[in-house]
Amino acid sequence: MLEKLFLPRSVAVVGASRTPGKVGYDILKNLVDCGFAGTIIPVNPAGGELFGLKVYPSLAACEQAVDQVIVAVPAALVLDVVREAVAKGAGTVIVISAGFRETGKDGRQREQELADICRRGGARLLGPNCLGLINTANNLNASFAGGTMPLPGNIAVFSQSGALCTAMLDMAAGRHLGLSKLVSIGNKADISEVDLLMALAGDDETKVIVGYLEDISSGDAFVKAAEQASNKKPVVILKSGTTAAGQKAAASHTGVLAGQDTAYGAAFKRAGVCRADTFEALFDYATALSMQPAPAGDRILIITNAGGPGTMAADAVEKAGMRVAMLDRNTTTALRAKLPAAASLGNPIDVLGDADPDRYVAALKAAQLDEAVDSILILLTPQAMTRPAETARAIAENVDGSKPVLASFMGGTDVLPGRFELAAAGLPDYESPERAVAALKAMHEYGVWRRRPPRLVTRFPVNRRRVERIISRRQRTGRLQLGEVKAKDILNAYGFHVLEGHLAVTPEEAVEVASFIGFPVAMKVVSPNIIHKTDLGGVRLHLGSKQEVEDAFELMMLRIRKHAPEALIEGIYVEKMAESGLEVIIGMTRDRQFGPMLMFGLGGIFVEVMKDVTFHLAPITADEAIQMLKSTRSYEMLKGKRGRKEVDIGAIAGGLQRISQLTTDFPQIIELDINPLIVGELGSEPVVADARMTFAPAAG
């Protein structure tokens, strides 16, 4: 896949220049100086010779076949050049030139025509408005990046920003990191992150895929390609450029809480992508993932020559949600025989400030043998008797590859020799313990994702016809906001437990309904114009007699007419009062890129103030639903902590799966809230206390 992008036999540079500093000059110089073994064809109307190569006045004048054409001419000339390239049979066209979609309407039209020319001619298009690409395996530097060819390695990089490509090259060089490939995708008129994920997933020279993205061309295609790639090798992505432009004024809690960037986070989680929050973290994670084996778990052992950094590392481990390993007794015994009496043999293991390389090696060997340790973090601070370079060499020589080993040689000039030794040995080294721990967390999370069970989505028996009728009627009438009564009808059709209730339009009807279904009851105003019923006095609970129902009806109507005089009041819904339980909120908001996103959180202050919620893309499996619950800070409350009884966690997970099925079955539903869903103890059936939905307008 993309063979003529990465492995062309011949490359033509249209716009080759004799002027240093010009893009056409730099690209040609890079191809020649970096030792590309294929045929290099400079093209410039002036003809002549460049770098000892014959310059052709046009592509048509060149008698040989051309696999790849690099276009570095003004935007106004690009289309004619590309037509010529396609006619010449080029398999790949790389348009370096700017002046397309990024410039406005005319540029957008020009870019579409460019893509159409390539598509009709059977050529793949990289760019426009890009830096080019590099493949170290065949010394192909088809870019205008300055500097020398990057070291060969196993990290492949793609970036939507050409400037960040050069920054990535510089950072890789500074860290002595080798790259397999680097691709600037520019405007993505054809070749996108999806194509590169698919190609690099099957690339034997690439162990880790690194990407920088400002947007994603196709949500569904991205998730599929990223998931397939992540099943083979780590994918680390930095996503920027998130704005509020696509977020509408949501009518549901779920839509409001989804925020600007939640969809990308949910998509990356689903696809197994390691998400970097900063440019620095992008290479922190890639370095660890490319150099070290995946950890078997989250238990980390810290080896240090100073107490303070060890404490910092232990704090970082706890804050990251991982565990400071509890050493096996045999490990402690072995260490006691090797280390001074003053050394601390807990975790962190403090080998003391005067530690020589042998003490570090003793601690490292013991840790590698301890089955209670999943990863090892080695800290070193420069002290008068510290020998950083010797210590680094000793550590590298004794790493057995059984579990990941990361280092943090803290300091500046004094530890540089040690850091150079670690880099040469292929051991990840970080300037601070916190950055090392963040890399370990990324490794651990990727390992957990790789070990996840197969994705088996449960399908429940449901009444689809009933839902189809409700949605169809609403779309025909244009009433797209669905209140509690009809929303509960839909949820009931999908297996949710809804308490008996009926609509009343007079106090007498309300009393009759309450007497029929049995006291106590709840009463709620039904109006398409009132979303937050409680704020207007439109909800009354625990009504235990006919008189209370009658009084409540009259008082509710009085308050509603006073506070919302223009609202259409359909009546008062009288419903059997639910048993007490834990209130949770589950819902869905449909993202423009990635489709339905499910949400879970506790009700009350947890959702309103703390916003302790989690999201996941639908469809969802039973295991993923449980993981959603576990990822909230309030999960301990579900398990019965702080004086509460444990609730039926499986029932909540089942509710999320049913919402998943409903919203994948009916893309017309764009928002849905069950708030609250009242959950009781194990074996009880959750009750939908309130709900609402929003539909998309009918197509056409």
- pLDDT class for 55, splitting at 50, 70, 90? very high
Please report the pLDDT score of residue 242 as a whole number: 58
Q: Which tokens sit at 442?
A: 């990324």
pLDDT at 37 over 70: yes
pLDDT at 254 over 80: no
Please report the pLDDT score of residue 378 as a whole number: 98
Please report the pLDDT score of residue 612 as a whole number: 80
In angstroms, what CA-CA distances link 364 with 378, 537, 571? Answer: 8, 66, 73
Please report the pLDDT score of residue 245 as a whole number: 45
Pick the residue with more confidence: 195 or 646? Answer: 195
Range 152-181 average pLDDT: 93
Q: Kind of pairing, strands 595-602 and 613-617?
A: antiparallel
Please report the pLDDT score of residue 257 as a whole number: 45
Please report the pLDDT score of residue 637 as a whole number: 83
Tell me the pLDDT tens digit for each residue of 566-577. 888 999 999 999
- Amino acid identity, position 456: L
Q: Which CATH class is domain 582-695?
A: alpha beta
Closest CA to 599 of 583, 612, 582: 612
- The answer to whether residues 36 and 138 touch, using CB atoms and an 8 Å cutoff, is yes
Range 541-562 average pLDDT: 94
Alpha-carbon distance 302 to 309, whole Å?
A: 10
Using DSSP's 3-state secondary structure scheme, residue 472 falls into helix
- pLDDT class for 241, splitting at 50, 70, 90? low
pLDDT at 183 over 70: yes
Alpha-carbon distance 326 to 322, whole Å?
A: 12
- pLDDT class for 260, splitting at 50, 70, 90? low
Please report the pLDDT score of residue 598 as a whole number: 96
pLDDT at 494 over 70: yes
- pLDDT class for 605, splitting at 50, 70, 90? low
91 sits in which H/E element? none
- pLDDT class for 534, splitting at 50, 70, 90? confident
Please report the pLDDT score of residue 244 as a whole number: 54
Instruction: Give the domain ranges of the chain.
Output: 293-450, 500-576, 582-695
Q: Which tokens sit at 173?
A: 């060089």
Our measurement of the distance from residue 159's CA atom to the centroid of its chain's CA atoms, rounded to an integer in Å, reads: 16
Pick the residue with more confidence: 256 or 123? Answer: 123
pLDDT at 453 over 80: yes
Range 162-190 average pLDDT: 93
Range 110-124 average pLDDT: 97
Percentage of the chain modeled with pLDDT above 90? 83
Rounded to the nearest integer, the mean pLDDT of the chain is: 92
Range 299-305 average pLDDT: 98
Alpha-carbon distance 587 to 47, whole Å?
A: 66
Tell me the pLDDT tens digit for each residue of 316-327. 999 999 999 999
43 sits in which H/E element? strand 39-43
- pLDDT class for 700, splitting at 50, 70, 90? low
Tell me the pLDDT tens digit for each residue of 377-401. 999 999 988 999 999 999 999 999 9
- The answer to whether residues 432 and 410 touch, using CB atoms and an 8 Å cutoff, is yes
Alpha-carbon distance 361 to 374, whole Å?
A: 17
- The answer to whether residues 323 and 300 touch, using CB atoms and an 8 Å cutoff, is yes
Q: Does domain 500-576 have CATH number 3.40.50.150?
A: no
Closest CA to 88 of 130, 113, 58, 127: 58
Tell me the pLDDT tens digit for each residue of 143-160. 999 878 999 999 999 999
Alpha-carbon distance 239 to 261, whole Å?
A: 9
Rg of the chain's alpha carbons, rounded to an integer?
31
pLDDT at 249 over 80: no
Question: Which of 166-170, 525-529, 624-628, 670-674 has the lowest average pLDDT?
Answer: 525-529
Pick the residue with more confidence: 262 or 609? Answer: 262
Q: What is the DSSP letter of 414?
A: G
Q: Which fold has domain 293-450?
A: Rossmann fold (3.40.50)
